[in-house]
Amino acid sequence: MTLPQDLYAVILAGGRGTRFWPLSRRQRPKQCLPLTGESTMLQETVARLQPMIPAERVLVVTGPTMADLVREQLPELPPENIIVEPSPRNTAPCIALGAVEVARRGGGRAVMAVLPADHYIGAPDALRNILLAARDVALSTNALITLGIKPRYPESGYGYLHVGVPMGTWHSHTFHMVERFTEKPSVEVATKWVAEGTHLWNAGMFVFTVDAIRDAIREHLPATAMAMLDLARDPALLPSAWERMEATSIDYGIMERSRHILTVPCDPQWSDLGAWTALDAILPSVEGGHGQATAVLAVDSERNTVFAPRKSVALVGVSDLVVVDTDDAILVMSKERAQDLRQLLGRLDEEARHLT
C-alpha cells in the first residue's frame, strides 16, 4: 500500500498529568513515564505512527520545562520538530501552532492527525487504518474529523459525540455527522446516553486539513486566527502572538461550536489513562487486584491497584484501593476518590512544592 505523503502528526505533550501523582511530576509528567511497558507514553505514541508517518513529519508541541526531556526521549525526531509553547494556554493554541508549522511545510491541503501524547492504544494497526481513512475523508469533505469510542460505562469526565446520519464509507469505516458535541455531561446525562446507544466518547484524536482547521479557528477564535497570520509571516513573533491567542481547549473553542464535524465509531483498544484506576485494564493481575511490583501478597483483599515496581507489597483486609510507591512519596487512596487527587496537588503546591 502506498502511504500518503501529505499526512502529518501533531502530538500534544504539554500536560502535567496531575492524576498520576506521585509518579507524575512537573519535571517528568505522565507522558514521559513508562506506565504500560518499557517505553514512555510519548515514545509509544510516536512509535505506533512510524509505519505510516515518518519521523520528519511528526511534530511534538510541549512546554519549556519539558522540551529537553522530550528531545532526549525522541532522538529520532529532527530538533526543529519539537515545538515549544511559551506558556500553558490549553490545546487550541497548541493546535494552531502546529497548523502554522504544518502549513509551512506542506501547505493548506496537508492533513494533520492531532494526537495526545499520553493515551494507551492496544491495537495500533487498527488506529493506523482509521487515521488513513480519516485522512481521505478530511480531503474529500473539508470537515473536522474526531475519532469516537463506543462508551463502556457512563464516564462524566469525557466529551460526548451525538452520532448523526452516515455520510459515507472510506476504507471500510463509516463516518457520521456529529449532531452535537457535549463536553463533560453530568453522570445522569451520561448514563442516559450510554443506555440509548446514541453517543460516542470523544477520544481527543482529530484529523483535518490545515485549511479546515484554519477556517474553523477564523470563525470561532478570531484572535487566534490573527496571531496565526503573524506567525506564518515571521516565526520570531511567537511570544507576542502566543499571548493574543484565546486560552481555551479545542473542545470548547471549536468542537462545541462547529457544525461541520464528522466522527467514525472505532475501537483501537483506547484508554486516556486519566487516573490510576484506568491501569486495571492494562496492568497484569496480581494477588488482590492488578499491578506492577516485585511481589504482591494479599489476604482478604481484592480490586486493588498497585504500582510499586521496586517493592513488595502486602495487602491485608483492604479492597478498592490505589497504592503507589515512589522514591520520596507513597499514595494510598480509595478508588472512588481517584478523580479528587487534584485537590491534594493544590495543597502540595502550597505546602510541599518539592513533591510536585
The CATH number of whichever domain residue 134 belongs to comes to 3.90.550.10
Place 183 in a pLDDT band, splitting at 50, 70 and 90: confident
Same domain, 285 and 267: no
Supply the pLDDT for residue 112: 98
Please state whether beta strands 199-209 and 159-170 pair in parallel, antiparallel, or not at all (unpaired): antiparallel
The 10s digit of each residue's pLDDT in 69-92 is 999 999 999 999 999 999 999 999
Which percentage of the chain shows pLDDT scores above 90?
82
Supply the pLDDT for residue 230: 97
Same domain, 200 and 311: no
Listed in sequence order, the residues at least 6 apart from 110 whose beta carbon sits closer than 8 Å to its beta carbon are 6, 7, 8, 102, 103, 209, 210
Same domain, 249 and 280: no
**Chain CA centroid to CA 92, Å:** 13
Supply the pLDDT for residue 346: 80
Q: Are 176 and 162 in contact (CB under 8 A)?
A: no
What is the C-alpha radius of gyration for the chain, rounded to an integer number of angstroms? 21
Same domain, 126 and 13: yes
**Chain CA centroid to CA 308, Å:** 25
Please determine, for residue 40, whether its predicted confidence score (pLDDT) is greater than 90. Answer: yes
- Decide if 1 is inside a domain: no
- Decide if 310 is inside a domain: yes
Q: How far apart are CA 61 and CA 59, in angstroms?
A: 7
Domain end among 252, 271, 290: 271
Q: Output DSSP code: residue 256.
A: T
- Decide if 2 is inside a domain: no
Same domain, 261 and 311: no
Query: What are the C-alpha distances in Å from 279 to residues 245, 270, 315, 319?
Result: 35, 12, 18, 16
Same domain, 193 and 313: no
Domain end among 237, 271, 305: 271
Supply the mean pLDDT for the chain: 94
- Decide if 202 is inside a domain: yes
The 10s digit of each residue's pLDDT in 276-320 is 999 999 999 999 999 999 999 999 999 999 999 999 999 999 999
Q: What is the mean pLDDT of residues 223-249?
A: 97
Q: How far apart are CA 247 and CA 89, in angstroms?
A: 5
Q: Of residues 184 and 10, which shows the higher confidence score?
A: 10
Please determine, for residue 1, whether its predicted confidence score (pLDDT) is greater than 70. Answer: no
Q: Output DSSP code: residue 52.
A: T
Supply the pLDDT for residue 349: 78
Q: Which of 204, 209, 216, 214 is nearest to 259 (CA)?
A: 216
Q: Are 262 and 177 in contact (CB under 8 A)?
A: yes
Q: In total, how many domains does the chain have?
A: 2
Same domain, 208 and 152: yes
Supply the pLDDT for residue 274: 86
Domain end among 240, 271, 302: 271
Q: Which range among 16-25, 50-59, 257-266, 311-320 shows the weakest confidence by mean pLDDT? A: 16-25
Same domain, 93 and 156: yes
Supply the pLDDT for residue 324: 96
Place 351 in a pLDDT band, splitting at 50, 70 and 90: confident
Place 49 in a pLDDT band, splitting at 50, 70 and 90: very high
The three cell numbers locating residue 354: 518539592
Q: What is the mean pLDDT of residues 124-143?
A: 97
Same domain, 190 and 205: yes
- Coil/strand/helix, residue 221: coil
Please determine, for residue 184, whether its predicted confidence score (pLDDT) is greater than 90. Answer: no
Q: Which residue type is seen at 221?
A: L
Same domain, 125 and 239: yes
- Decide if 169 is inside a domain: yes
Same domain, 301 and 267: no
The three cell numbers locating residue 65: 520545562
- Decide if 205 is inside a domain: yes
Which percentage of the chain shows pLDDT scores above 70?
100
Q: Of residues 157 and 241, which shows the higher confidence score?
A: 241
Q: Of residues 343 and 104, which shows the higher confidence score?
A: 104
Same domain, 96 and 240: yes
User: Which regions of the chain does DSSP assign to beta strands (E)?
Assistant: 7-12, 58-62, 82-84, 111-116, 120-121, 144-149, 159-170, 173-183, 199-209, 261-266, 270-271, 285-286, 289-299, 304-316, 321-325, 330-334
Q: What domain range is 332 assigned to?
A: 276-355
- Decide if 157 is inside a domain: yes
Place 2 in a pLDDT band, splitting at 50, 70 and 90: confident
The three cell numbers locating residue 217: 479557528
Supply the pLDDT for residue 348: 80
Q: Which range among 10-19, 75-84, 260-269 shows the weakest confidence by mean pLDDT? A: 10-19
- Decide if 88 is inside a domain: yes
The residues pairing with 315 across neighbouring beta strands, listed in sequence order, are: 298
Place 207 in a pLDDT band, splitting at 50, 70 and 90: very high
Supply the pLDDT for residue 36: 85
